[in-house]
Amino acid sequence: MPEKVSKKRKTKVENEEKKETYSKRLRKRMMKTKEEDTLEDTPFHGSNHGNGDNDKIDPIDQPLDINDRIGSHGDKETVDKALPQFKCEPKLHGYTPLAYRSQNLVHFLQQYTSGQKRTVKLKQSLSSTVVNMISDLQLCRNASPFDRRVTTMEWHPTNPNILAVGSKGGDIMLWDTANVNNDKMIQGIGAGGIMNAIKFWPSDNNFILSAAVDGTVRLNDVDGRNSRVLADTMNPHDFWYCSVDVNDKRKMVVAGDNVGNTQLMTYEGKQIFNCRLHKQKVTHAEFSPREEWLLCTSSTDQTVQFWDVRMMKDRKSSLYILKHDKGINCAYFSGTDGCRLLTTDQGNQVRVYRAPDWVLERKISHPHRFFQHITPIKVNKFNRRGDTLASGMGVHILLWTRKEKLLKDRSLSCQP
């Protein structure tokens, strides 16, 4: 029995000596690591591993548990502070490609087509391009052909130099912005003949479709020969037309009046549909350039409504309603793809909605101070090429173009 006890004590003493020896060896190795300038000769570098006879790994290189690290003498904090701190993160000098640093629209489009979708930066690049272009516009021409204020205007669908302008007196001017000698005028009836909306006739651009306060939807011949009436309220004192548009694919004309009625008719003037879709004046009616069956109407009842002309029955058949805080002056589809809708109201907002759910994408503050003797905000349009802007200001028509184009035109006019 005493022999067994002595053996246990001897084993315990030997284990303590081994721990002490191991702890001393660990401290020596840590001191050596601090003194060395490089890591080539340290066991952590692993330069001797995997070299034939040296495959045997020294116990120092083995992972240490917490007891081994502390040893029989010393404490954990002391050992942790003494251990070398290795930083394995490489010092790299970053380089950002030009396409990522650039604000150029072409670079963003290149990234977008290659699958690198940077939507926020792309939108910023698109908007900055448009803002810069508009900021560069300068007044190049003006005209005052009417004795009453400008009420509506429309650019020619194919010729970017032809502008049709309507007045409060019922006059329509066909203005050739490139040649003053080609201007044409259709005389109106004067007081009570306000032109509320005009459109070029699709099949023959020498005809202009108009909706007027005289209670008619008329197809006007700019040469003054073959004008004809497509619709007439027969009571212009109480009922008149405020909006008009034409759909060439469906050979259809739409017109809205001052009490909320919306009327669809053929090119010959035959009525297809007539119903009071709004509670108040239909200020704007427009077919979508993307889907020929989609019709949008706006009203002073503070709503914009979408309709499928194939299924129009009554007010409950609207596809979608956009509610506003004030009466609405207009609701234009974007001319590029028809996936945006811009509305202006009689308060202080310009809104942009996005298809297909027509969610509100942006609000722009634009105080209007609307009342009946001021033309609503919608007499301001770019031509089909997008390089010329026409504005109506009282009895004046203003034409804006880019500075570089203006200088080029002036240099060409000065040549013999």
Write down the pLDDT at residue 40: 46
- Bridge partner list, 350: 344, 364
Res 288 pLDDT > 90:
yes
Closest CA to 305 of 256, 366, 364: 256
Q: Measured at the alpha carbon of residue 162, what is the angle toward residues 161 and 168, in degrees to the nearest 5?
A: 135
- Whether omega for the bond prior to residue 367 falls within 30 degrees of 0, making it cis, is no
Per the model's pLDDT, the better-predicted residue between 339 and 128 turns out to be: 339
The owner of tokens 């003949």 is 193
Q: Does residue 55 carry a pLDDT above 50?
A: no
- Of 33-37, 72-76, 169-173, 260-264, which range is least confident? 72-76
Residue 42 pLDDT: 44
Question: Longest Cα pair distance anywhere in the chain, in angstroms?
Answer: 137
**Dist CA 92 CA 94 (whole Å):** 6
233: pLDDT strictly greater than 80: yes
> pLDDT for 166-181, tens place per residue?
999 999 999 998 887 8
pLDDT value of position 216: 95
Judged against a pLDDT cut of 60, whether residue 78 lies above it is answered with no
Q: Quote the pTM value.
A: 0.67
Mean pLDDT check: name the lowest of 112-126, 265-279, 348-362, 393-407.
Answer: 112-126
Return the percentage of the chain with pLDDT > 90, whole number. 43
Task: Flag whether pLDDT at 25 surpasses 80.
Answer: no
Residue 278 pLDDT: 97
- Does residue 239 surpass a pLDDT of 50? yes
Q: Which two tokens stand for residue 304?
A: 């914009």
For 244-270, write each residue's pLDDT tens digit: 999 999 999 999 999 999 999 999 999
Q: Is 352 helix (H, G, I), strand (E, B) or coil?
A: strand
pLDDT per position as a tens digit, 322-378: 999 999 999 999 988 899 999 998 888 899 999 999 999 999 887 766 666 566 666
Structure tokens at 131: 């803002």
**Is there a contact between 173 and 156 (Cβ–Cβ < 8 Å)?**
no
pLDDT of 34 > 50? The answer is yes
Instruction: Give the pair of three-digit tokens for residue 229.
Output: 């009436």
Q: What is the per-residue pLDDT for 375?
A: 65
With a CB cutoff of 8 Å and minimum separation 6, the contacts of 28 are none
Helix (H, G, I), strand (E, B) or coil at 400: strand
- Judge whether 389 and 357 are in contact, CB under 8 Å: no
